Amino acid sequence: MLTTSRRPAMLLTTGIALLLSLSACTETKTKNVPQPVPPTPPTPAVNEEARDYDKYTELVWSDEFNTGALDQTKWTYELGAGGWGNNELQTYTNANDNTYMSGGNLVIQAKQTGPNSYTSARLITKGKKSFQYGRIDVRAKLPKGKGVWPAIWMLGSDIDQNNWPKCGEIDIMELRGSQPREFLSTMHFGTSSADHKYKGITKPVPFDLSEDFHTFSVVRSKDLLRFYLDGEMQPYYQFTGSDASPFPFNNPFFVILNVAVGGNFDGNPVASTTFPQQMQVDYVRYYQYK
């Protein structure tokens, strides 16, 4: 048995030994902790850097419409009526008189089938081809007439997960048939239908767009979209990352070609509007740079 006089010294000695033991243990563990690894910078997406229009020379995907029928490995018919959110009058079909090939061109034809009754076609690459950064050219000859509404445009490929307008919409070209000497390029965005926003330009031209073919282009880079007509080197419109929040336009998008009839954009056809009306498309081409 320890005497009372010796206990404090023994306790002090034991405490010091315990502290030294804990200190040694802690030091050993610290030595074994791996050093933090700095995060790997994200790999830039292909073609995310902006280049001049003519630098996009590598043809990645195209449809020249030289076959006898629509290539359904590239396009899907989007079918149905119901106004399409704009009080439109047409029913989209897959009928041969609404979509066909002629002279190396795709023809999308709007027909009148009765009073305020029309058929047409709407073709999409959704599920078959999406496009991110690069240049898209569409060479087309447009229809005209009050209430005729041709469009070359794009929607975010994630539309089934992020409904419009959250997915984003890129209108490369829309034409009011009553005004064939101008067209619109418009960006649509927002967090919900109630938050829908849009920004764009009306582009006047010194010719009737129904009289000849013209090339409508968009070049997409990270946080930047530039719009061109007929290969001119200077864009007539630019849309940047500061123009929309959130900014969905760095995501993959699919292409849409259609001719609508009636609705909010140009109103309904009038007695002087003649049918059928056709949008003829020479090609759709997607380029990137090396």
Which residue in the list 169, 182, 211, 232 is annotated as catalytic? 169
**Is 174 one of the catalytic residues?**
yes
Q: Which three-class secondary structure state does DSSP give residue 88? A: coil
Residue 43's pLDDT band, with cuts at 50, 70 and 90, is: confident
- Per-residue pLDDT of 248-268, as tens digits, reads 999 999 999 999 999 999 999
- 249/227 Cα distance (integer angstroms): 14
**What secondary structure letter does DSSP report for 281?**
E
Statement: residue 32 has pLDDT above 70? no
Per the CB < 8 A criterion, the answer to whether 244 and 199 are in contact is yes
| Nearest C-alpha neighbor of 75 from the set 17, 42, 13, 121 | 121
Phi, then psi, of 13 in degrees rounded to 5: -60, -45
- Per-residue pLDDT of 33-42, as tens digits, reads 666 767 766 7
- 135/195 Cα distance (integer angstroms): 29
CA-to-CA separations, 7 to 14, 25, 247, in angstroms, rounded: 10, 27, 74
- Domains of the chain: residue spans and CATH: 64-288 (2.60.120.200)
Which residue in the list 174, 182, 211, 232 is annotated as catalytic? 174
Higher-confidence residue of 143 and 21: namely 143
Residue 87's pLDDT band, with cuts at 50, 70 and 90, is: very high
- 79/6 Cα distance (integer angstroms): 98
- Helices and strands counted in the chain (H then E): 1, 17
Joined tokens for residue 198: 């849009």
Length reported for the chain = 290
**Is 169 one of the catalytic residues?**
yes
pLDDT at 40: 67
